[in-house]
A and B are shown apart, each in its own frame.
Chain A
Amino acid sequence: MALTSADVEKVAHLARIQIDASLIPEYTRDLSNILDLVNQMQQVDTSEVEPMAHPLDATQRLRVDEVTESNQRDALLAGAPATEAGLFLVPKVIE
């Protein structure tokens, strides 16, 4: 399956990954190869196989509903580039 360079740019944008324009042909070829491999696997008859949601053959443990965390605001805000009044500050979001 051949991806176009536009597909690669779109995927990069969705993932917020900045890529060097000169490398786009290479990424396009590599990603196309991965999809080709997936297409090859699609030819295996899996009609009798249940879709796998997780590689571990186990089920989710559930937690008792109780508050176990305390206020860690100072520690969490310490890693942020900009804060004010207990808030994380980010570049202005306009709807």
Chain B
Amino acid sequence: MQWEAVIGLEVHVQLATQSKIFSGASTAFGAEANTQACAIDLGLPGVLPVVNEQAVAMAVKFGLAVNSKISTRSVFERKNYFYPDLPKGYQTSQMAEPIVGPGWLDLTLDEQTTKHVRIHHAHLEEDAGKSLHEDFHGMTGIDLNRAGTPLLEIVSEPDMHSAKEAVAYLKAIHAIVTYLGISDGNMAEGSMRCDANVSVRPKGQTTLGTRCEIKNVNSFRFVEKAINYEIQRQIELIEEGGRVIQQTRLYDADLDETRAMRSKEEANDYRYFPCPDLLPVVLDEAYIQHLQAQLPELPSQKQTRFIEMLGLSAYDASVLSASRALADYFEQVYQVCQDAKAAANWVMGELSARLNRDGLEIQDSPVSSTQLGQLIQRILDNTINGKAAKQVFATLWAQEGQSADEIIAAQGLKQVTDTGAIEAIIDEVLAKNTAQVEQYKAAEVDKRGKMMGFFVGQVMKASKGTANPQAVNQLLADKLAALLD
């Protein structure tokens, strides 16, 4: 039986406001427990929540960036449940009238494939506090600093059919919120969290299978692994004659498996009703237009510009536009060297490899975009060859030189293009290796190419890598041909 997975994601994004969604308490991460919780966050009697304008503006910006209809009227409701880190006994959220209506995103999966994913809606709500389960004499500790931090919950349609598509969607959301500056998108610190709804069905069937919701997946890699595990689990379960039960499952990264959370029958009985403390939020068109005008160039627009104006491939353009920091770096390199393809190759190749190896973000690169741009300039104007360029890059990376020019001069890497000088080196090499020359002359024509490589290597070595490889090849071929006559 051929199976098809159906995946929808709920992404919670912490909005980068200074203060909370309904109070003037700080949202800064990492403060001492309960020092940033106030009477409103705790829901003490007599308090009145007031909506933070920035949280509204950020939600609207997101909506505009994903082609959504913005609701000029949205309503906060109470989602009722009891949990110790939810001090009010309800979460103030939105349900029937969310601020961001239906929208969509197009994802670039690879050179040929784009994927259209619809967004059902996005709504504003407040975050809960944190439960600390370390042993406090058999009790649980509660830190309410996070309670009331604004969240934007982005709900996709079940349009994705593989873990790869789900991760591409999540990365696209991450790129958009960080481009917009509405969240730092830090998954490790919980600024962006993802729940995945996964079901499977026989290929061709149109009705949906029973879904499970996977919670607690906090990195792109774990989202992919958790979804793959869950798809496989459901397929095996059905093929063995069982059936999937709708439930919430937790992903355990250590064991790489999902397991059922203890579920109560009334778990989903939230008894939403409009919050009497908050009036409907009404936005006028002028306000929305004003925010529209503030939007920066978005990842998809940048990608299109990279393809159409700079001639990059769709894949290169999508990789380079995935993060604003990477895109900015690339563009600065391009500004200096004026060759988009070369800039893209260096940023995605040598630079990214080094960053990965050392576990660094682009912002922390020891080689600045100007330094890399200047290095590429020296390759393009034939001052150095590719091999020397890697040496210059390594020196810049180790911060043992200020600029490509300085390192080229200090290490004597300037490429020798002078024909006379290269010929002299070739003559020297041929004179030193008479045995190989004789073998070359005696060899079959189709073997000579490989033997030629030996001489090229020796010449490059004798020039300490500075000879222009094209010139060496050409001159050497001429010399050897002359010997055969």
Distance of A18 Cα from B51 Cα, bound (Å):
34
Task: Give B320 Cβ to nearest chain A Cβ, in Å.
Answer: 32
Distance of A60 Cα from B42 Cα, bound (Å):
21
Partner of A53, one of B26, B50, B133, B274: B274
> Are A68 and B132 in contact (CB-based, < 8 A)?
no
Distance of A58 Cα from B18 Cα, bound (Å):
27
> Are A95 and B262 in contact (CB-based, < 8 A)?
yes
- What are 7 A-B residue pairs whose CB atoms fall within 8 Å in the complex? A54-B274, A60-B278, A65-B53, A72-B37, A76-B42, A87-B33, A87-B143
Task: Give B96 Cβ to nearest chain A Cβ, in Å.
Answer: 8
Given the known A-B contacts A61-B50, A65-B17, A69-B26, are A86 and B32 also in contact in the complex, defined by CB atoms under 8 Å?
Answer: yes
Distance of A3 Cα from B153 Cα, bound (Å):
35
Distance of A13 Cα from B136 Cα, bound (Å):
28
Contact with A along B114-146 (1 / 0, CB 8 A): 000000000000000001110011111111100
Distance of A34 Cα from B54 Cα, bound (Å):
41
Distance of A72 Cα from B138 Cα, bound (Å):
27
Given the known A-B contacts A73-B34, A87-B132, are A67 and B26 also in contact in the complex, defined by CB atoms under 8 Å?
Answer: yes
Given the known A-B contacts A69-B38, A73-B35, A87-B136, are A59 and B144 also in contact in the complex, defined by CB atoms under 8 Å?
Answer: no
Known: A71-B35, A92-B140. 6 other contacts (CB 8 A): A14-B266, A53-B280, A62-B53, A76-B42, A87-B142, A89-B142
> Are B39 and A76 in contact (CB-based, < 8 A)?
yes
Say yes or no for A41: interface residue by CB 8 A criterion: no
Write out the residue numbers on chain B whose beta carbons fall within 8 Å of the beta carbon of A67: 18-19, 24-26
Say yes or no for A56: interface residue by CB 8 A criterion: yes
> Are A91 and B139 in contact (CB-based, < 8 A)?
yes
> Are A14 and B19 in contact (CB-based, < 8 A)?
no
The interface residues of chain A, by DSSP majority, are classed as: loop
Write out the residue numbers on chain A whose beta carbons fall within 8 Å of the beta carbon of B35: 71, 73, 86
Say yes or no for B52: interface residue by CB 8 A criterion: yes
> Are A13 and B19 in contact (CB-based, < 8 A)?
no
Distance of A60 Cα from B51 Cα, bound (Å):
8
Write out the residue numbers on chain B whose beta carbons fall within 8 Å of the beta carbon of A72: 37-39
Closest to A82 in B: B139
> Are B84 and A93 in contact (CB-based, < 8 A)?
yes
Write out the residue numbers on chain A whose beta carbons fall within 8 Å of the beta carbon of B107: none
Distance of A25 Cα from B89 Cα, bound (Å):
27
Distance of A73 Cα from B33 Cα, bound (Å):
9
Task: Give A37 Cβ to nearest chain B Cβ, in Å.
Answer: 17
Distance of A63 Cα from B150 Cα, bound (Å):
13
Say yes or no for B97: interface residue by CB 8 A criterion: yes
Task: Give A7 Cβ to nearest chain B Cβ, in Å.
Answer: 12
Task: Give A80 Cβ to nearest chain B Cβ, in Å.
Answer: 9
Distance of A67 Cα from B149 Cα, bound (Å):
12
Write out the residue numbers on chain A whose beta carbons fall within 8 Å of the beta carbon of B52: 62-63, 65
> Are A54 and B39 in contact (CB-based, < 8 A)?
no
Say yes or no for A64: interface residue by CB 8 A criterion: yes
Write out the residue numbers on chain B whose beta carbons fall within 8 Å of the beta carbon of A88: 34, 84, 141-142, 144
Say yes or no for B208: interface residue by CB 8 A criterion: no
Task: Give B294 Cβ to nearest chain A Cβ, in Å.
Answer: 15
Write out the residue numbers on chain B whose beta carbons fall within 8 Å of the beta carbon of A86: 32-35, 143
Write out the residue numbers on chain A whose beta carbons fall within 8 Å of the beta carbon of B261: 95
B12-58 interface (Cβ within 8 A of A): 17-19, 23-26, 32-39, 42, 50-56
Say yes or no for B381: interface residue by CB 8 A criterion: no
Partner of B279, one of A58, A65, A77: A58
> Are A59 and B279 in contact (CB-based, < 8 A)?
yes
> Are A10 and B266 in contact (CB-based, < 8 A)?
yes
A9-63 interface (Cβ within 8 A of B): 10, 13-14, 16, 53-54, 56, 58-63
> Are B51 and A69 in contact (CB-based, < 8 A)?
no
Distance of A61 Cα from B53 Cα, bound (Å):
9
Distance of A48 Cα from B18 Cα, bound (Å):
42
Task: Give A68 Cβ to nearest chain B Cβ, in Å.
Answer: 3
> Are B141 and A87 in contact (CB-based, < 8 A)?
yes
Say yes or no for B269: interface residue by CB 8 A criterion: yes
> Are B140 and A89 in contact (CB-based, < 8 A)?
yes
Q: Which 9 A-B pairs have the closest CB atoms?
A: A68-B24, A87-B141, A65-B54, A62-B53, A60-B279, A59-B282, A88-B142, A69-B38, A86-B33
Write out the residue numbers on chain A whose beta carbons fall within 8 Å of the beta carbon of B228: none
Distance of A58 Cα from B280 Cα, bound (Å):
8
Say yes or no for B290: interface residue by CB 8 A criterion: no
Closest to B15 in A: A65
Task: Give A17 Cβ to nearest chain B Cβ, in Å.
Answer: 11
> Are A66 and B19 in contact (CB-based, < 8 A)?
yes
Write out the residue numbers on chain A whose beta carbons fall within 8 Å of the beta carbon of B33: 73, 85-87
Write out the residue numbers on chain A whose beta carbons fall within 8 Å of the beta carbon of B9: none
Write out the residue numbers on chain A whose beta carbons fall within 8 Å of the beta carbon of B19: 63, 65-69
Distance of A93 Cα from B279 Cα, bound (Å):
34
Distance of A52 Cα from B104 Cα, bound (Å):
30
Task: Give A74 Cβ to nearest chain B Cβ, in Å.
Answer: 10
Closest to A63 in B: B50
Distance of A64 Cα from B18 Cα, bound (Å):
10
Closest to A80 in B: B142
Distance of A43 Cα from B279 Cα, bound (Å):
27
Say yes or no for B371: interface residue by CB 8 A criterion: no
Given the known A-B contacts A88-B142, A90-B142, A92-B140, are A65 and B55 also in contact in the complex, defined by CB atoms under 8 Å?
Answer: yes
Closest to A88 in B: B142
